[in-house]
Amino acid sequence: MAEFTMELNDEQKEVRDWLHGFAADVIRPAAAEWDEREETPWPVIQEAAKVGIYSLDFYAQQYFDPTGLGIPMAMEELFWGDAGIALSIVGTGLAAVGVLANGTEEQIGTWIPQMYGDASDVKVAAFCSSEPDAGSDVASMRTRAVYDEAKDEWVINGTKTWATNGGIANVHVVVAVVDPELGSKGHASFIIPPNTPGLAQGQKFKKHGIRASHTAEVILDNVRVPGSCLLGGKDKLDERLARARERAKKGGDRVKNAAMATFEASRPAVGAMAVGTARAAYEVALDYATTREQFGRPIIDNQGVAFQLADMRTSIDAARLLVWRASWMAVNGKPFTAAEGSMSKLFASETAKKVTAQAIQILGGNGYTREYPVERMHRDAAIYTIFEGTSEIQRLVIARTISGMSVR
């Protein structure tokens, strides 16, 4: 087990500087254009693939970093560049992690390469879980998967929403209900191969922020996939469902806590994204405050501005420390006895919203225009308090964990 440290080692610093250079030289110059176009920035993703950033190998190296700091460090630097483009680059990773976490070796080897393609033919993947009536309330999921034993096929019907890369993905990973009586414990994940009949893109959302990231509905109308597309295989599913039924008879608290721990482990990565956006806005505001003069002196000479910047920097550093702590705990198997994963996501996402708003205020009228990037950063920051569990859900998780009570 790696000791917790706040100091990156030489290899990590080298990766951080490499990512920072890519974010500064490739992502940032393209950010405003793709935000206005509201389209997937394929040329930027291709550039990321050419240098090795958009690849399973890169994310696997960061994911298995024993210090736990590889992923949050990478997320912070890429999202410092631009949140919309960065999400287009890392969005495939969510589907890939779903396969890595639940799939067999054969499924991992077959499908993950098809999610990324290569530098000459870039592909993306989509993870489809949320539904129009099932966002935070995953137990309300309606998409059904029914096993056709005679043909060894699963038949899937339903509608997914808020899917990053939904409809344009080469490979979709879809969560569906296989046993309605078990609620959220009766779910399973399925690979939908390229060009599978019955899968179609529904509404593409025009969003407030992260506009360079494609978000859409995915419609599944009698989609048939081979039995081999059930992640983990049917034997493993049957065993898991049997355990869930037995635990449900004895009382479901143990199962709920295990599920919560799984979600907790993924939330620090979103916190790191928020830290990157907040840091970017803070740096623009600091530079502006030291160069913009009013009444014959830089505006940072005024306490009203200087104190805001002090608070901004303090909050960003505190958010990063919470993210790093939770990431280290997750990779080293430390229990989240106080919902530390949710703490990191909650504080970092709220920090991003506040810091980007303060940056606009410091820039004044300039900050409100698209000539400066802070208004885009502020729009982008709003998503962090919504996806991967809203701030209200994070507070609920934390309250339940520290109290042991069923807070509602």
Catalytic residues: 388
Tokens representing 10?
């030489």
**326: alpha, beta or left, given left = phi > 0 and alpha = psi -120 to 50?**
alpha
Quote the CA–CA distance of 338 and 286 in Å, as a whole number. 34
Give the three-class secondary structure for 12. helix
- Angle between the N-to-C axes of helices 303-331 and 253-291, in degrees from 0 to 180, rounded to the nearest 10: 150
* Stretch (H or E) spanning 359: helix 340-363
Where do we find the tokens 């206005």? Answer: 36
- From CA 34, how far away is CA 156, in angstroms rounded? 34
How many other CB atoms are there within 10 angstroms of residue 126's CB atom? Answer: 28
As a whole number of Å, the end-to-end CA separation of the chain is: 37
User: 216 with 204: CB under 8 angstroms?
Assistant: yes
Across 322-357, b (16+ Cβ under 10 Å) vs e yields: bbbbbbbbbbeeeebeebbbbbbbbbbbbbbbbbbb
DSSP lists the bridge partners of residue 230 as: 190
